[in-house]
Amino acid sequence: MQDYRIEHIAYACADIDKTIEKFKNLGYTLVSDIIDDEARNVKLVFMINRSIKIEFVQPVNNNSPVSALLQNQKNSASPYHICYEVDDLRSAIDELKNQKFVITKEQEPAIAFDNRKVAFLFHKDVGLIELLEKQ
């Protein structure tokens, strides 16, 4: 069985700059620059408060994976996924598929993680999760 370590919690947001300012007021500090992830049609940034790291994800167009979520939430920031770092990405994917998780995005390099591979999976009782291969 894999060791699933929470890497971050992601929030979808309509305006990343406004969201950053609001979370600064809640004690979060920036730990990255704003990243343009053209492959996923999003802008993203990471902030941290003590040991809790949050990723904010803003769509750049309607082809973004977070566009529909924000439309359903009337452009209100909303939890989007939990990211887990795993030692063996392929093994973790297989393990979760055996537990009836469905792959929504096959593993591919992610610019936000220095091109380490990520994959997205969904289960109706858990929601969307991201798996990140260990460095």
Distance CA 66, CA 46 (A): 16
- pLDDT given at position 73: 83
Range of the domain at 48: 5-133
Looking up residue 127, the CATH number of its domain turns out to be: 3.10.180.10
For the whole model, what pTM was predicted?
A: 0.93
Distance CA 7, CA 38 (A): 22
Q: pLDDT digit string (tens) for 99-123?
A: 999 999 999 999 999 999 999 999 9
Comparing 124 with 135, the larger pLDDT belongs to 124
**C-alpha distances in Å from residue 119, one per residue of 14, 111, 113:** 23, 13, 12
Q: pLDDT digit string (tens) for 56-98?
A: 999 999 889 899 889 888 889 999 999 999 999 999 999 999 9
- pLDDT given at position 65: 86
Domain count, the chain: 1
E strand map for the chain: 5-12, 29-30, 35-37, 42-49, 52-59, 78-86, 102-110, 116-123, 127-133
pLDDT band at 133 (very low <50, low <70, confident <90, very high): very high
Residue type, 37: D
